[in-house]
Chain A
Amino acid sequence: MNIEWYVVLSSLLFAVGAMGILIRRSPVVILLCLELMLNAGNLALVAFSRMVGNQQGQIFAIVVMVVAACEVVVGLGLIVAIFRRKLPLDVDSLRELRG
């Protein structure tokens, strides 16, 4: 398969993730859609690393995975804290920090 197929698939997955963030309002699902976008980026990184024939892009993808894991841990911690305080789990209701 040519590399362009992988890159087009990755941009399609990125667009689906961005659409999910625009549509959904539950913070858990928004975190899931963020995962979709990060993974689409990872796919593009690995595809380009194969295109160049150089493994450094794969290191970049692994670092992106680490950052995604950190983001998930902190985000889910925030969701649990919100749930414990009996606030609504809806990003449109949690607008106190909007200024």
Chain B
Amino acid sequence: MEAVLFFLAAIGALGGAVGVVAMRNPFYGVLALIVHLFSLAVLFLLLTSAFVAAAQVVVYAGAVMVLYVFVTAYVGGDTESAWEPIPGQRFLAPLLGAALFVELSIAVLASSLLALGTHGPDVNPGFGDPAAIGRLLLERFLIPFEASSILLLLAAVGAVVLAGRSKSSEGAA
């Protein structure tokens, strides 16, 4: 059962990723990324990390993807030209991607991490649930938690400054 779910989610994640790369229209790329993110949430659940899976669905597939959908709808469909500045880019890039995959796999699988070939240790039922993650975030990792909140605020202010409609930028355009 677990293997079936893993392979279904893996096929969904891989198909979504290939769809993002292959779709000419960015709008379909965004939809493929949503499929990818949902499959990843299933994988997180299989790894007994319920809170990360929920955050993946709520934050990514919910909030971030809505932002993407709005911006692609605003900017418009396929703006990509067929012109290739680097000759053979379309053939060279998959080769380099495959080389990267082989290299990463060798680096991981040839490492001496013996626990890689196991399911991981048996964990108690509360592993990765919101209570445990919340306790870690608010006790041990309080400073990274607060720092990430400041980072989010800075990003929001930065986006408003960048994309906001101001008199001076209209004049300069």
Q: Which residues of A line the B interface, CB within 8 A?
A: 1-9, 11-20, 22-26, 28-29, 31-33, 35-36, 39, 42-43, 46-47, 49-53, 55-56, 58-59, 61-63, 65-74, 76-81, 83-86, 88-90, 92
Output the nearest chain A residue to B154 by Cβ-Cβ distance: A70
Contact pick for B94, options A14, A19, A35, CB 8 Å = A19
Contact pick for B156, options A33, A51, A71, A73, CB 8 Å = A73
A51 with B115: in contact, given A56-B136, A76-B159, A83-B75 (CB under 8 Å)? yes
A79 with B75: in contact, given A47-B47, A69-B63 (CB under 8 Å)? yes
Question: Which of B46, B115, B141: most chain A Cβ within 10 A?
Answer: B115
Q: How far is the CA of A90 from the CA of B148 in the complex (A)?
A: 31
B residues less than 8 Å from A23 (CB atoms) = 21, 89-90, 93-94
Q: Is the CB of B100 within 8 A of A14?
A: yes
A50 with B48: in contact, given A67-B151, A69-B152 (CB under 8 Å)? yes
A52 with B71: in contact, given A9-B10, A65-B56, A65-B59 (CB under 8 Å)? no
A70 with B155: in contact, given A9-B13, A19-B97 (CB under 8 Å)? yes
The interface size bin for chain B is 35 or more
Contact pick for A77, options B6, B56, B127, B162, CB 8 Å = B162
Within 8 A of A (CB), among B95-116: 96-98, 100-101, 104-105, 108-109, 113, 115-116
Q: Is the CB of B75 within 8 A of A22?
A: no
B residues less than 8 Å from A39 (CB atoms) = 36-37, 40, 60
B residues less than 8 Å from A77 (CB atoms) = 158-163
Instruction: Output the least CB separation between A45 and chain B (Å).
Output: 9
A59 with B162: in contact, given A24-B21, A65-B59, A88-B79 (CB under 8 Å)? no
A residues less than 8 Å from B93 (CB atoms) = 19, 22-23
Q: How far is the CA of A3 from the CA of B44 in the complex (A)?
A: 12
A28 with B148: in contact, given A36-B17, A47-B47, A72-B64 (CB under 8 Å)? no
Seed contacts A14-B104, A36-B17, A73-B158; 15 additional CB < 8 Å A-B pairs: A1-B119, A3-B118, A6-B47, A19-B93, A19-B100, A23-B90, A26-B26, A28-B75, A31-B68, A32-B68, A42-B40, A61-B49, A65-B59, A66-B152, A76-B159
Q: Is the CB of B40 within 8 A of A43?
A: yes
